[in-house]
């Protein structure tokens, strides 16, 4: 069961990193509507980061 949570946390962390990189790359490229797309990726990053922290907290509760 713990391995399952560790894998989910790793997936959430990689997804968070991906959203961050896509957001920064979109912002750096600029162009029409880049600010809105970059802002959307940053909102996804915050959501994914919250999921990763929540999963980590749940893992800590289950293993104590």
Q: Which domain holds residue 33?
A: 2-63
| Chain segment 20-61, per-residue pLDDT in tens | 999 999 999 888 888 899 999 999 999 999 999 999 999 999
- How far apart are alpha carbons 45 and 38 in whole angstroms? 10
Collect all residues with Cβ–Cβ distance below 8 Å to 45 and sequence separation of at least 6.
16, 19, 20, 23
pTM: 0.85
**Number of domains within the chain:** 1
DSSP 32: T
- How far apart are alpha carbons 27 and 10 in whole angstroms? 26
């Amino acid at each position: 069961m713990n391995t399952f949570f560790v894998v989910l946390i790793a997936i959430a962390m990689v997804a968070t990193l991906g959203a961050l990189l896509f957001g920064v790359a979109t912002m750096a490229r600029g162009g029409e509507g880049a600010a809105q797309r970059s802002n959307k990726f940053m909102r996804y990053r915050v959501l994914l980061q919250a999921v990763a922290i929540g999963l980590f907290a749940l893992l800590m509760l289950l293993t104590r």
